[in-house]
Amino acid sequence: MNGPNPSHVLNKSENPGKRLLSVEETAIYLGLSPRTIYNAVARKSKKPFPVKPKRIGKLVKFDIRDLEQYVESL
């Protein structure tokens, strides 16, 4: 598997102030493919992603707090 492992991405001791996650980090956190998330956050998506992303220019970021709430609601 390529990319960082989930525990490393969300290791609070290494990233104490990291609150916004990239699509790739979000995919690892949720166990999804980054392509699935990109397809779901597209503005014309028929199945929108349940967590609203923060858009910073072209960047798409997800608030870790919103992701945690979503996971808890499952």
Convert the pLDDT of each residue in 4-38 to its tens digit.
555 455 554 455 668 999 999 999 999 999 999 99
Looking at this protein, which amino acid is placed at residue 72? E
pLDDT confidence of residue 18: 82
The domain limits of the chain are 19-73
Calculate the average pLDDT of the chain.
Answer: 84
CB atoms inside a 10 Å sphere around CB 26: 25
CB atoms inside a 10 Å sphere around CB 59: 11
Looking at this protein, which amino acid is placed at residue 37? I
The hierarchical CATH code for the domain 19-73 is: 1.10.10
- Give yes or no for residue 46 having a pLDDT over 80: yes
pLDDT confidence of residue 2: 52
> Which of 11-15, 28-32, 48-52, 69-73 is least confident?
11-15
Question: Is there a contact between 59 and 38 (Cβ–Cβ < 8 Å)?
Answer: no
pLDDT confidence of residue 16: 62
